[in-house]
Chain A
Amino acid sequence: DGGITQSPKYLFRKEGQNVTLSCEQNLNHDAMYWYRQDPGQGLRLIYYSQIVNDFQKGDIAEGYSVSREKKESFPLTVTSAQKNPTAFYLCATGAYQPQHFGDGTRLSIL
């Protein structure tokens, strides 16, 4: 959707490196979500935030961290503790449910 911008489109991570995926929205939605999608599988929730300065762990939060300092922004950091980070990462927003997805970031290991 035009109101959600994810960057970069492709990202490569070296061993032991932290990388940050950006998600910005201009839809004025309170809730924002990060999902991970592995090939041939559904989407799994990593973290979500319903309000600025507050966020909760999803089903697979280990090895990831987030912040929500502004309503418009919900960056996701993939830390070196995440041993299998290769996946398609999708950010979503929604007033009460994540109806709108960004175009995603494809993360690979170098």
Chain B
Amino acid sequence: GENVEQHPSTLSVQEGDSAVIKCTYSDSASNYFPWYKQELGKRPQLIIDIRSNVGEKKDQRIAVTLNKTAKHFSLHITETQPEDSAVYFCAASNSGAGNTGKLIFGQGTTLQVKP
């Protein structure tokens, strides 16, 4: 069935360093790839997303890259800050008219940014 694998499960970096989280998906029909940040006890919040017609998208210190051929997508956080510490989830879906739009989530990455 549809599956999203996320690595690493935990990541510890020094403040100011970069962090990279990688995901692979199995369904070649997937065309929408969001990333969520979840702080302890709170709801996931969308931080960036990318569609399959784009290879890269940036928003300040956050960027996402997509390799459709390899079915890989990655989250890049530069100049990390302690407030970036959280659990990050990738997801994939086949969205658009006529599709369910349901998201398949990765298992999550716990990012710790040390001051």
Contact = CB atoms under 8 A, between A and B. Distances in A.
Contacts of A40: 108
Interface of B: 6, 32, 34, 42-46, 49, 89, 93, 95-97, 99-108
Interface in A25-58: 31, 33, 40-45, 48, 50, 56, 58
A103 B99 CA distance: 26
Task: Name B's interface SS.
Answer: loop
Interface of A: 1, 31, 33, 40-45, 48, 50, 56, 58, 90, 94-104
A41 B107 contact: yes
A99 B105 contact: no
A98 B96 CA distance: 12
Contact of B100 (A1, A44, A56, A100): A56
A102 B43 CA distance: 7
Contact of A101 (B43, B49, B100, B104): B43
Contact of B34 (A97, A102, A104): A97
A96 B102 contact: no
B95 A96 contact: yes
A43 to B, nearest CB: 5
Given A42-B89, A102-B43, A104-B43, A94 B101 contact: yes
